[in-house]
């Protein structure tokens, strides 16, 4: 069970998780909170001893500038002899820019399977109150942290210049290695690594969204020797879908800390008297089982406590939302009680299995018509598709990407009788109906823009930069946020839409709000936070009003994938690049932190529209089966043999889908180091194994490679129902499994059942 304890004499707090613990303590004079420990479980007496012996290990000069102690600040206020990356930097109304605080109070509360510790720190001169929040979960080693900043008011308004959600201190280590995800459009979530030395390594997005270029996740290992299945690993992930910043800093004394939250570039927040600012959650975990164990912990925790759970911290409900935001969950009713960790059980209520879907974009582009979509739906239903999605091109004025965004009504030329006849036909074929939308965007050539040109981000006397011929709506404005909600709510209320692909095809530019800038107390820079907070409130409100509708996050591919958006959607679009060979590496990076269940993959035509690469249909399917399966090709151009093969492969996927989407993932081979890539999925009860393998061009002299399976019962037998061959668990794990890779760009699907 997750537990929180407090030693009142030593003024130490500890959080006990599944296999790990975390501890911090109060300085003797009550003016600082010192980090003590984060790692494998330790007895409480040992943690108390850390506080008592915390003066060694750094030079006398370093001790002087760190308050006389070896233990660093748990949450770093800017002020005094502190020169680390600060957690919080403020400016008071009289020009004072240094923080001084004292411990005020602490609280421990329990919410079903969650325990929350809150620590209040107050600035006695100005009254500013900072609350540090720590949330842990039964059966997991994930610690979720965030901070709340409140201004009771006696000192007037407070300007917040930098505010991080959390600051993570790591143990001493000789050669810390940082692993993170980078990329670009069509090449998202590429895994890379670098050694850390003295100074700072900054990962960030300034684009207004999570971004294609970097993702707010990292792992750190202390000697650069951790591997997929061995070694100590610390990992963190930020739950925020806007501009963000993570900083990894090695201090002059050799200590490493990782901190982050909202990006302070072009951002300040004026906190008025009586105001409160809640920062986004920043989750962290530790494991001694290598990168694979860290991934499985992230996956299991998200399935139990993130996917579909919406707002978990009360963070940032915007003023305009009122009753539109999703209702708060009562204590103990969050569907997560009884979770038993990454290798154990799950909550009684969990996210539904992702349906096999068809998306019409690559088949029709903007040439959408009721009859054409109906013909595609007929073929999709014969393949066993469960959700039929009409993509871009269905609404008024949308003949190309130059016009129409913002005018979300069915085009009467394409749908003379509206959407309902097509929706009814799709339902009669046994499928759910889905629709694409890009609610945060507008084309200048649209009725919406002509009526409200002030609704987009812009600066006075500056050009409005278009990308994909579109501009970004100022969702920070209450009237714009209200319009977006009402527009989507009306669409879902009028039609039997059961799936929404929510797209966002461009980053911010000219992030101005002239009307706000013209006010005496205006703060136009708050758009960076308010846009995302209002987006969250809209999604929470739509899910509450339409509980049967599922949502997919898309941002020109994988540009909006993070823990924040995953609380509001059911799946994410991984990349616009549907080339299966490229997707192997994209999906390997994605799986480092995000579960296969939310990773949407399409089987599209060959040659691929982006790369021109030709790949076998079975290869394209086997790569797409690694997560949520979709079809995006032009079915009208597929041969009868291809359609028959696709139907067989879809039926096979449905059989293995519970293991793929809910089982434990082991990356047993990687194209970065091995001649093939292979993912093994193990059913929760260990009764079934699914192995997907992919390899590229055959190279002369390549040696036989057998991926070794993991997590099996060494004494049990595992039967391949196709070949009838049985394997001993020990043999599969120690010797491996021959996948028989012989052809260029070959692939395989192997199923094993424990006897």
Task: Quote the pLDDT of residue 700.
Answer: 62
**Angle made by CA atoms 172, 178, 180, in degrees to the nearest 5:** 150
Burial class (CB in 10 A: 0-12, 13-18, 19+), 533: buried
At 137, list the tokens: 């979960």
Q: pLDDT of 685-733, one tens digit each?
A: 999 999 999 999 876 656 679 999 999 999 999 999 999 999 999 999 9
Task: Quote the pLDDT of residue 629.
Answer: 98
Task: Quote the pLDDT of residue 54.
Answer: 53
Task: Quote the pLDDT of residue 252.
Answer: 87
Q: How far apart are CA 515 and CA 183, in angstroms?
A: 36
* 3-class secondary-structure state, position 487: helix
User: Are 548 and 492 a contacting pair, CB within 8 Å?
Assistant: no
pLDDT tops 90 at residue 211: yes
Q: pLDDT of 632-674, one tens digit each?
A: 999 999 999 999 999 999 999 999 999 999 999 999 999 999 9
Helix (H) or strand (E) holding 77: none
> CA torsion sign, 452 to 455 to 461 to 467?
negative
pLDDT tops 90 at residue 325: no
Establish how many alpha carbons lie within 13 A of residue 583's alpha carbon, considering only the half-sphere containing its beta carbon. Answer: 29
pLDDT tops 60 at residue 68: no
Task: Quote the pLDDT of residue 661.
Answer: 98
Task: Quote the pLDDT of residue 440.
Answer: 98
Length, in residues, of the chain: 755
The percentage of the chain sitting over the pLDDT mark of 90, rounded to a whole number, equals 85
If you average pLDDT over residues 47-53, what whole number do you get?
79
Helix (H) or strand (E) holding 254: none
User: Are 138 and 113 a contacting pair, CB within 8 Å?
Assistant: yes
pLDDT tops 60 at residue 331: no
Give the 3-state secondary structure of 55-110: CCCCCHHHHHCCCCCCCCECCCECCCCCCCCCCEEEECCCCCCCCCCEEEEEEEEE
pLDDT tops 60 at residue 326: no
User: Are 688 and 697 a contacting pair, CB within 8 Å?
Assistant: no
**Angle made by CA atoms 566, 572, 576, in degrees to the nearest 5:** 150
Task: Quote the pLDDT of residue 190.
Answer: 98
Task: Quote the pLDDT of residue 67.
Answer: 39
Q: pLDDT of 167-190, one tens digit each?
A: 999 998 888 999 999 999 999 999
Task: Quote the pLDDT of residue 743.
Answer: 80
Q: How far apart are CA 625 and CA 80, in angstroms?
A: 55
If you average pLDDT over residues 493-501, what whole number do you get?
98
Q: How far apart are CA 83 and CA 146, in angstroms?
A: 22
If you average pLDDT over residues 301-310, what whole number do you get?
90
Pick the CATH number of 668-754 from 2.60.120.20, 2.60.40.1180, 3.30.43.10, 2.60.120.10: 2.60.40.1180
How many other C-beta atoms lie within 10 A of the C-beta of residue 84?
21
Q: How far apart are CA 78 and CA 165, in angstroms?
A: 15
Helix (H) or strand (E) holding 667: strand 664-669
If you average pLDDT over residues 199-213, what whole number do you get?
97
What is the band of 266 on the pLDDT scale with cuts at 50, 70, 90?
Answer: very high
The percentage of the chain sitting over the pLDDT mark of 70, rounded to a whole number, equals 92
- Pick from 243, 247, 280, 284: which is nearest to 265 by CA? 243
3-state helix, strand, coil in the chain (%, to 5): 25, 30, 50
At 32, list the tokens: 């600082």
Instruction: Output 552 or 321, whichever has higher pLDDT.
Output: 552
If you average pLDDT over residues 572-592, what whole number do you get?
98
CATH architecture of 3-306+309-324: Distorted Sandwich (2.70)
Q: Which residues of 504-526 are buried (b: 16+ CB within 10 A; e: fewer)?
A: bbbbbbebbbeebeeeeeebbbb
Domain range annotation of the chain: 3-306+309-324, 357-560+599-659, 668-754
* 3-class secondary-structure state, position 442: strand
Task: Quote the pLDDT of residue 101.
Answer: 95
pLDDT tops 80 at residue 320: no
Q: pLDDT of 357-403, one tens digit each?
A: 999 999 999 999 999 999 999 999 999 999 999 999 999 999 999 99
DSSP 271-282: E-TT-EEEPPPE
If you average pLDDT over residues 197-211, what whole number do you get?
97
At 346, list the tokens: 């799950």
- Report CA dihedral (335, 327, 386, 627) to the nearest 10 degrees: -60
Please provide the average confidence, as pLDDT, over all residues in the chain.
Answer: 92
At 447, list the tokens: 């009725």
Task: Quote the pLDDT of residue 518.
Answer: 84
Which residue is listed with tokens 């291809």? 642
Task: Quote the pLDDT of residue 702.
Answer: 65
The CA R_g of the chain, rounded to the nearest whole Å, is 26
Task: Quote the pLDDT of residue 649.
Answer: 98
User: Are 568 and 551 a contacting pair, CB within 8 Å?
Assistant: yes
- The pTM for the full model equals 0.94
Q: How far apart are CA 59 and CA 622, in angstroms?
A: 57
pLDDT tops 50 at residue 121: yes
pLDDT tops 90 at residue 329: no
Task: Quote the pLDDT of residue 5.
Answer: 96
Q: How far apart are CA 259 and CA 200, in angstroms?
A: 11
In CATH terms, is domain 357-560+599-659 a member of 3.20.20.70? yes
Centroid of chain to Cα 735: 36
What is the band of 350 on the pLDDT scale with cuts at 50, 70, 90?
Answer: confident
Q: pLDDT of 214-245, one tens digit each?
A: 999 999 999 888 999 999 999 999 999 999 99
Instruction: Output 518 or 703, whichever has higher pLDDT.
Output: 518
């Amino acid at each position: 069970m997750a537990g929180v304890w407090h030693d009142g004499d030593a003024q130490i707090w500890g959080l006990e998780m599944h296999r790990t613990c975390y501890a911090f303590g109060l300085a003797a004079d009550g003016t600082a909170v010192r980090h003590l420990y984060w790692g494998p479980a330790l007895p409480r007496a040992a943690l108390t001893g850390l506080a008592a012996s915390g003066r060694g290990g750094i030079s006398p000069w370093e001790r002087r500038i760190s308050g006389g102690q070896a233990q660093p600040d748990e949450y770093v206020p800017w002020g005094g002899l502190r020169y680390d990356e600060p957690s919080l930097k403020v400016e008071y109304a009289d020009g004072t820019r240094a923080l001084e605080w004292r411990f005020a109070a602490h609280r421990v509360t329990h919410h079903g399977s969650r325990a929350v510790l809150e620590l209040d720190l107050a600035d006695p001169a100005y009254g500013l109150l900072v609350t540090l929040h720590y949330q842990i979960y039964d059966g997991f080693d994930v610690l979720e942290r965030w901070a709340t900043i409140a201004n009771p008011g006696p000192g007037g308004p407070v300007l917040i210049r930098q505010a991080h959600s959390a600051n993570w201190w790591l143990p001493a280590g000789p050669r810390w290695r940082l692993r993170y995800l980078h990329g670009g459009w069509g090449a998202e979530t590429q895994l890379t690594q670098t050694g850390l030395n003295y100074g700072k390594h900054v990962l960030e997005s300034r684009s207004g969204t999570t971004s294609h270029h970097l993702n707010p996740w990292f792992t750190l290992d202390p000697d650069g020797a951790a591997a997929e299945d061995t070694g100590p690993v610390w990992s963190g992930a930020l739950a925020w879908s806007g501009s963000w910043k993570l900083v990894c800093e090695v201090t002059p004394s050799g200590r490493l800390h990782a901190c982050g939250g909202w990006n302070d570039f072009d951002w300040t927040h004026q906190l008025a008297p009586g105001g409160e600012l809640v920062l986004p959650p920043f989750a962290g975990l530790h494991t001694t089982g290598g990168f694979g164990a860290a991934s499985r912990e992230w996956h299991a925790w998200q399935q139990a406590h993130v996917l579909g759970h919406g707002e978990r911290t009360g963070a940032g409900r915007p003023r305009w939302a009122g009753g539109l935001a999703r209702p708060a969950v009562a204590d103990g009713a969050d569907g997560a009680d009884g979770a038993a960790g990454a290798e154990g059980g799950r909550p009684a209520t969990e996210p539904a299995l992702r349906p096999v879907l068809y998306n019409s974009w690559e088949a029709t582009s903007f040439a959408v018509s009721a009859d054409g979509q109906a013909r595609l739906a007929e073929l999709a239903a014969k393949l066993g598709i469960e959700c039929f999605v009409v993509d871009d091109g269905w609404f008024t004025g949308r003949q190309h990407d130059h016009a129409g965004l913002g005018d979300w009504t069915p085009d009467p030329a394409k749908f003379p009788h509206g959407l309902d006849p097509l929706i009814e036909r799709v339902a009669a074929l046994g499928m759910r109906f889905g629709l694409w939308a890009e609610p945060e965007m507008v084309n200048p050539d649209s009725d919406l823009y002509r009526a409200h040109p002030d609704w987009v981000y812009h600066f006075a006397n500056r050009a409005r930069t278009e990308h994909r011929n579109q501009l970004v709506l100022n969702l920070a404005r209450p009237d714009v946020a209200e319009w977006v909600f009402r527009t989507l709510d009306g669409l879902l209320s009028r039609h039997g839409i059961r799936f929404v692909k929510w797209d966002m095809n461009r980053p911010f530019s000219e992030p101005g709000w002239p009307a706000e800038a013209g006010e005496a107390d205006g703060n136009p820079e708050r758009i960076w936070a308010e846009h995302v907070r209002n987006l969250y409130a809209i999604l929470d409100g739509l899910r509450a009003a339409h509980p049967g509708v599922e949502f997919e996050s898309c941002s020109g591919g994988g540009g909006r994938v993070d823990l924040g958006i995953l609380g509001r959607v059911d799946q994410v679009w991984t990349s616009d690049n549907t080339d299966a060979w490229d997707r192997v590496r994209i999906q390997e990076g994605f799986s480092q932190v995000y579960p296969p269940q939310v990773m949407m993959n399409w089987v599209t035509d060959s040659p691929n529209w982006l790369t021109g690469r030709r790949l076998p249909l079975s290869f394209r399917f086997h790569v797409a089966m690694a997560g949520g399966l979709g079809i995006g090709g032009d079915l009208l151009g597929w041969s009868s043999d291809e359609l028959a093969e696709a139907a067989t492969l879809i039926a096979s996927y449905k059989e293995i889908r519970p293991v793929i989407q809910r089982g434990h993932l082991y990356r047993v081979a990687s194209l970065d180091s091995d001649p093939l890539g292979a993912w093994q999925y193990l059913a929760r009860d260990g009764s079934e194994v699914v192995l997907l393998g992919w390899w590229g061009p055959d190279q002369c002299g390549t040696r036989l490679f057998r991926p070794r399976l993991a997590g099996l019962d060494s004494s049990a037998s595992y039967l391949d129902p196709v070949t009838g061959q049985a394997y001993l668990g020990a043999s599969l794990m120690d010797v491996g499994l021959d996948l028989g890779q012989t052809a260029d760009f070959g692939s395989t699907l192997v199923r094993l059942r424990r006897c």
